[in-house]
Amino acid sequence: MNIHEYQAKRIFKDYGINVANGILVANLNETKEALDVLQTDKFILKAQIHAGGRGLGGGVKITKDKQEALEWVASMLNTRLITKQTSKDAMLVEKIYIEEAIKFKQEIYLSLTFDRNNESISLIVSKNGDISIEEAAQISPHLIKNISIDPQIGLCLFHVQELVVFLDINKELALKLHETILKLYQIYIQKDANLIEINPLVLTQDDEIYALDAKISFDDSALFRHPEILALSDPSQADPSENEAKEQKLNYIKSNGSVGCVVNGAGLAMATMDIIKELGADAANFLDVGGSATSDGVAKAFRLILKDKNVKVIFVNIFGGIVRCDRIASGVIKACKEIGLDVPVVVRLDGTNAKEAMQMLKESALKGLHASQNLLDGAKLAVKLAKETSL
């Protein structure tokens, strides 16, 4: 689960990490009041959306002039902002965060995330702040330090000492950097975060450290332990289909392809998306109906997928273990009849009662319904139909 920058900074502040004074606004009256309250020679205006790349996307403004600030807020509020991390549908801007400017002598990039390959927590620092870390890794990898932290041991003094040498900072700043990173690590562990990113973290002239940016992403599976974090959720920032899927207890993530996928099991769902990509198309979604898939669940999945107008074909890929294939076939037939599908459906069923299920699909004689017991053949047909329908 993602949260807004202003929410992340409140968490930082609760842990004693320095952040600039800021006020959240949602209309022009609040903006006028905020501009009068903040004591600064420059105002930093930031659109609050759950996506990075706001600066390049026009979602960040620096101004000395209150009137210019008002005009920018007026032009940004309740519009949709497109960045390199948003979909083509963009994201709704309902709030602007206005901050006091902080003067600094050095800016760096800092993040904590999980490295699955090394089964460790990665502490990543770049000497260049306020730039894309992905671009920095390509252009100047020698300016990036990646330190692996054993989660069984935790953050140690030698980890920070390694960064101090890398950044070449003085003793006073080194102590404050250690304190800041320790607090960030505490947030990461105690709040079950899977990403903390600050871009930039700045070192000021009077040797203070400030987080001028803040991004925190939390482990969805651990939210039951953190009702205070769950309360920070902003449904307006999620795709409406994903919100609906949560209500229906479907594991759904929207993508940008043309092949809608209904699969049981996360591993099989990812493999299905991979094979579609390998065959020259893109999946429109990740959708795991789970190990207890029912005919009603399949019908709900169909309705959800078809709200995406980019979908040209639906590919159902079910391996029946606990799930009986005949029940899935019943759900597919039910969905086709009730919804009145105007896109073809390819169904691949294997496992428990697969033969009976295939016979049910055949006897239904529904137009546009295709059956396959082979994953590769089914995927090939789905991709072929998607391309033909797109013409």
Tell whether 131 is in a known binding site. Answer: no
Contacts of 328 (CB under 8 A, 6+ apart): 293, 295, 298, 316, 318, 320, 347, 349, 357
| DSSP state letter for 299 | H
In this structure, what token pair is assigned to residue 192?
A: 């079950």
Q: Is 264 annotated as a binding residue?
A: yes
The verdict on whether residue 314 carries a ligand-binding annotation is no
In the chain the beta strands, taken as DSSP E runs, fall at 22-25, 43-47, 60-63, 80-81, 91-92, 96-100, 106-115, 120-126, 144-149, 193-203, 209-211, 215-218, 251-254, 259-263, 285-288, 313-320, 345-351, 369-372
Q: Which two structure tokens, joined as six digits, stand for 1?
A: 């689960």
Phi, then psi, of 310 in degrees rounded to 5: -80, -15
102 annotated among ligand-binding-site residues: yes
Distances (CA, A) of 105 to 21, 125, 204: 19, 17, 5
For residues 86 and 51, the answer to whether their CB atoms sit within 8 Å is: yes
307 is an annotated ligand-binding site residue = no
Please check if 213 is assigned to a binding site. yes
Question: Hey, is 388 helix, strand or coil?
Answer: helix
Q: Was 199 annotated as part of a binding site? A: yes
Q: CB within 8 A of 247, min separation 6: which ones? A: none
b/e for 282-298, b at 16 or more Cβ within 10 A? ebbbbbbbbeebbbebb
CB atoms within 10 A of CB 231: 8
107 in a known ligand binding site = yes
Q: Is 362 annotated as a binding residue?
A: no
Is 53 annotated in a binding site? The answer is yes
Pick from 98, 61, 48, 58: which is nearest to 82 by CA? 58
Buried b (16+ CB within 10 A) or exposed e, 72-111: bbeebbeeebbbeebeeeebbbbbbbbbbbbebebbbbbb
Q: Was 65 annotated as part of a binding site?
A: no
Active-site residues: which are they?
109, 197
Least Cα distance to 202 among 97, 283, 101 occurs for 101
Residues making up the annotated binding site for substrate are: 264, 321-323
Residues making up the annotated binding site are: 46, 53-55, 99, 102, 107, 199, 213, 264, 321-323
Residues making up the annotated binding site for ATP are: 46, 53-55, 99, 102, 107
Residues making up the annotated binding site for Mg(2+) are: 199, 213
